[in-house]
Amino acid sequence: MLIVGIIYRLIEPFLSTFTDGHILPLFGDPTLINNLFLIIFCLGTILAASIPAIILFSADFGKTLRSGNSKPIGSVGLRHALVVLQFSISTILLISIFVISDQLEYMDDKDKGIVLDDVLIVQAPIVAGTSWDEKRKSVELFKQRCEELPFILRTASSTTVPGEEYRQETYLSLQGNTTRTMVHQNGVDDQFFDLYDVEFKAGQNFIHDADWKNRNSIIINESAAQALGIVDFEQMIKILDHESNELYDLVGIVRDYHQTSLKYRMRPIAFKFNIVRGHFSLKIDEEKFDEKDNLSAINKFWEQTYPDASFDYYYLTEKFASQDKEERYFGQLFNYFTILSIIISCLGLLGLSLLISTKRQREIGVRKVFGASSLNILLTFLKGYLAPLSIALLTGTPLAIFLVNRWLENFAYRVEIGIGLVTFAWLWLIVIFLFTVAYHTIKSSLENPVRILRD
């Protein structure tokens, strides 16, 4: 324990950087997954280390080795129990890491209903003391200048962009209907849906250079349409906003897309026309874009348009992925703990196979004298390991499924734990198990029976 403490103090800065300041188990965190992780960690390290220490320092240990008695502590039976415990923990961790990896991969690959690649976000400027018309002209001027750059394909402005929570909610209802529905709202220009390649399920986008008509129009997503009770998407109707008490023409319904992480369900959203304020989305041509030179060109236009505002930007894919950084750090840590657990389990199994092969040397010699081949002896020995392996798999699997199901509850969109995944994890453990015990078993089966019996 003292050595562990010293090592931890030495590598603490690296661990803090690697895990973004989060070390598992998280002490003080009341969540079930964390507490169970702590229990498994203690069983797999402190218990697995303390029992061999008790055996080695036992007063009967030397006597046990000399007499060959299998009953006292340190026997094959006890070692079988330890191997079962260690491989049960390895089963839990290996199944868990496969599920965690599948979930993270699923989150990366799932169609989000929106194109996030090659989008540069310039954060909304803070400009006080200017009129509505001056703000509109500044927004249009900056977008126009950016569009003149050869590496900018399209520009758009919106009050929020993907990867951010919506800042405003309102209550809508269909004209003539008293039922109110709470929806999130986002102010966008006529280029927003084209830049992000959002699909229209019905209707159309805001009209270019038709500000007056656009300000009296509204676009909603599928979830909002269903919440409002719209069955026929082709039927464009009027919608009342109870916050502003204004009546809008419903001109379009867009496909649901993930505004934030897959941890959250799709939410009803209403899009209103807004060209006065918001973040700038710049669609860049990756082949022509050079970060160092081209960002300075955008910064130059920014300083000319907003001389008193700082130029803050980020890449949308990085921002969107950062929402799930806690889960990704958790997955990385779990990988390393799983590898460590399997190594510890294999060391225990290696010791067990050495003890068994040593105790059964005379039996091996007798079998070979009576004509048993090395392969027959190997198979006979391996059969003896099937019981602890089966017990470890059958006890570890249900607990692993319970644990990862609790972890998956954090995600509204998640993978299913199928029999194929469990089987794949089992195959990995079986292969590791057999390779570990094979060395001493094969070595013993190849021994000369004359030498064994003479000794």
Residue where a domain stops, chosen among 277, 302, 322: 322
Residue where a domain stops, chosen among 322, 342, 377: 322
332 and 435 housed in the same domain: yes
pLDDT tens readout for residues 425-441? 999 988 888 888 777 66
Question: What is the 3-state secondary structure of 148-170?
Answer: CCCCEEEEEEECCCCCCCCCEEE
104 and 215 housed in the same domain: no
- Whether 70 has a pLDDT exceeding 90, the answer reads no
Number of domains in the chain: 2
307 and 181 housed in the same domain: yes
* CB-facing half-sphere around the CA of 424: CA atoms within 13 A: 12
348 and 399 housed in the same domain: yes
89 and 184 housed in the same domain: no
Residue where a domain stops, chosen among 322, 341, 368: 322
298 and 339 housed in the same domain: no
β-bridge mates for residue 238, sequence order: 249
99 and 48 housed in the same domain: yes
Q: Averaged over 241-247, what is the pLDDT?
A: 89
- Residue 271 is predicted with a pLDDT of 95
pLDDT tens readout for residues 121-157? 998 777 666 677 788 888 888 999 998 889 999 999 9
Q: Which domain holds residue 361?
A: 2-111+324-454
129 and 77 housed in the same domain: no
In this structure, the strands spanning 217-221 and 246-254 are: parallel
141 and 284 housed in the same domain: yes
Residue 322 has phi, psi (to 5 degrees) of -65, -15
Question: What is the 3-state secondary structure of 399-417?
Answer: HHHHHHHHHHCCCCCCCCC
Show the tokens assigned to 175: 């004209």
Is the full-model pTM beyond 0.75?
no
Output the CA torsion 180→185→187→193 (10° steps).
Answer: -110
Q: Are 332 and 420 in contact (CB under 8 A)?
A: no
- Whether 268 has a pLDDT exceeding 90, the answer reads yes
Q: Are 164 and 288 in contact (CB under 8 A)?
A: no
76 and 7 housed in the same domain: yes
Which amino acid is it at 345?
Answer: S
245 and 155 housed in the same domain: yes
- Residue 72 is predicted with a pLDDT of 45
306 and 185 housed in the same domain: yes
